[in-house]
Amino acid sequence: MNIKRFKADSIKDAVALVKKDLGEDAVILSTRKVSDGIEVLAAKDVDINSRGSLERSSTSNSSINKKESIPSIEKHLMDMKKEMRNMLNLIQYSSPNKIDSSLYNTLVLNGVQPANALKITNDVAPISSQSSIDDLKTKLSLYIQAAPIYLGGDKKPVIISFIGPTGVGKTTTIAKLASNFTVYDKLKIALITIDTYRVAAVEQLKTFADIVNIPLDVVFSPDDFAFAIDEHKDADVIFIDTAGRSQRNKKHMKELLSFFKMVRPDEIHLVLSMTTKTEDMLDIVENFEVAKPDKLIFTKLDETTKFGGILDTAIFSDKPISYLTTGQSVPDDIELADPMKIAEYILKND
């Protein structure tokens, strides 16, 4: 397998360089932004029966200069480990037949991790060469579960909580959903916030609640939380806003769980921003699992051009996606998660 790095001003230019140097059958292992543009790591051959030697590009930083500093050596070793993981993933998921490099590259360029891209490409191989793009979307959509907030039962009020890191848009998402449920579904909504860390977040929710005439309670302790829930027992839906938590701050996670031990929400939605790197999204999902979220919400789709992180996170978490948000406008910029539409995003090849 011949692996090389390519640098260019844009993804399109980088792909052109890859095709020119390695040919149409080359596959892209990873892409990343660098200070002077885009860096692409590509391989010439992923046929696991091949016995060709592993060559590295003379333009890559493959040799370690003796004058390098210790941090540079450590970074080099980390890059090598990452490339080795990519290679192992290729070997693990590749079949003896060559994959459809066009589909594979489209997935990777749109942010899908190489292992998932290879698995999916192999899964759709029987249809990809002769089928329409709609067939591919249908196949890809099977990897994505979707489920909005469930209001079909007899229980009232339905208690819905939103959790996630700081800055992902939990409060704005609640405002959008509360507006839609109030205006279009004619439901009686109540809001409770346990986000007492950020005055701005409380003020934002209070302003919104006043505009649409929805009651809002600010809660400071788990005991007050149970009392506030009881105060709104005549509501159809109670939305719970929580403080942004670092997935690695055990103290904050413990505080969050203390509220949920007092009253367990009917649904907990983990909110993730599309401006977050996929690796970090997976780390967030893993560490927030202690709160047992039921569904995922992806925000800020309007602030990215790569949507592969949705697919990687959906596969990793095995949880349904409930909503997507596409801007700051309340109540308009939110939509039900649609596996086919998500697949369309991911298969874009701009």
Asked, for residue 286, whether it belongs to a domain, the answer is yes
Confidence of residue 65 (pLDDT cuts 50, 70, 90): very low
Asked, for residue 150, whether it belongs to a domain, the answer is no
d(C-alpha 145, C-alpha 203), whole Å: 35
Which of 101-110, 234-243, 305-314, 334-343 is predicted with the least confidence, judged by mean pLDDT? Answer: 101-110
Same domain, 46 and 175: no
Asked, for residue 335, whether it belongs to a domain, the answer is yes
Q: Do residues 323 and 333 make contact, with C-beta atoms less than 8 angstroms apart?
A: no
Confidence of residue 174 (pLDDT cuts 50, 70, 90): very high
Residue 93's domain comprises: 2-129
pLDDT digits (tens, 9 = 90+) for 282-292: 999 999 999 99
Same domain, 107 and 68: yes
Asked, for residue 272, whether it belongs to a domain, the answer is yes
Asked, for residue 118, whether it belongs to a domain, the answer is yes
Which pair of tokens denotes residue 74?
């450590």
Confidence of residue 136 (pLDDT cuts 50, 70, 90): confident
Q: What predicted TM-score, i.e. pTM, was given to this entire model?
A: 0.76
Same domain, 194 and 249: yes
For the chain, the distance separating the N- and C-terminal CA atoms, rounded to the nearest angstrom, is 28
Residue 144 has pLDDT above 90, yes or no: yes
Residue 141 has pLDDT above 90, yes or no: yes
Residue 96 has pLDDT above 50, yes or no: no
Three-state SS at 22: helix
Asked, for residue 250, whether it belongs to a domain, the answer is yes
Residue 314 has pLDDT above 80, yes or no: yes
Choose one of 83, 113, 129: the last residue of a domain.
Answer: 129
Asked, for residue 334, whether it belongs to a domain, the answer is yes
Same domain, 32 and 91: yes
d(C-alpha 202, C-alpha 205), whole Å: 5
Same domain, 235 and 92: no
Same domain, 338 and 267: yes
* Largest CA-CA distance found in the chain, in angstroms, rounded: 72
* Class of residue 106 by CB neighbours under 10 A (exposed 0-12, middle 13-18, buried 19+): buried
Asked, for residue 34, whether it belongs to a domain, the answer is yes
- Return the exposure string of 38-67: e unless at least 16 CB atoms fall within 10 Å of the residue's CB, then b: bbbbbbbbbbeeeeeeeeeeeeeeeeeeee
User: Domain total for the chain?
Assistant: 2
Of 46 and 275, more confident = 275
Taking residues 160-164, report their average pLDDT: 96
Cα Rg, the chain, nearest whole Å = 23
**pLDDT for position 134:** 78
Same domain, 200 and 77: no
**pLDDT for position 159:** 97
Same domain, 253 and 174: yes
Edge to edge, what strands does the sheet with 37-43 contain?
Answer: 27-34, 37-43, 2-8, 55-56
Same domain, 124 and 167: no
**pLDDT for position 135:** 80
Please list the residues that pair with 298 across neighbouring strands: 272, 324
Same domain, 217 and 317: yes
pLDDT digits (tens, 9 = 90+) for 326-344: 988 888 899 999 999 999 9
Same domain, 325 and 277: yes
**pLDDT for position 87:** 53
CATH number for position 211:
3.40.50.300
Which of 78-92, 134-148, 220-234 is predicted with the least confidence, judged by mean pLDDT? Answer: 78-92
Same domain, 226 and 288: yes
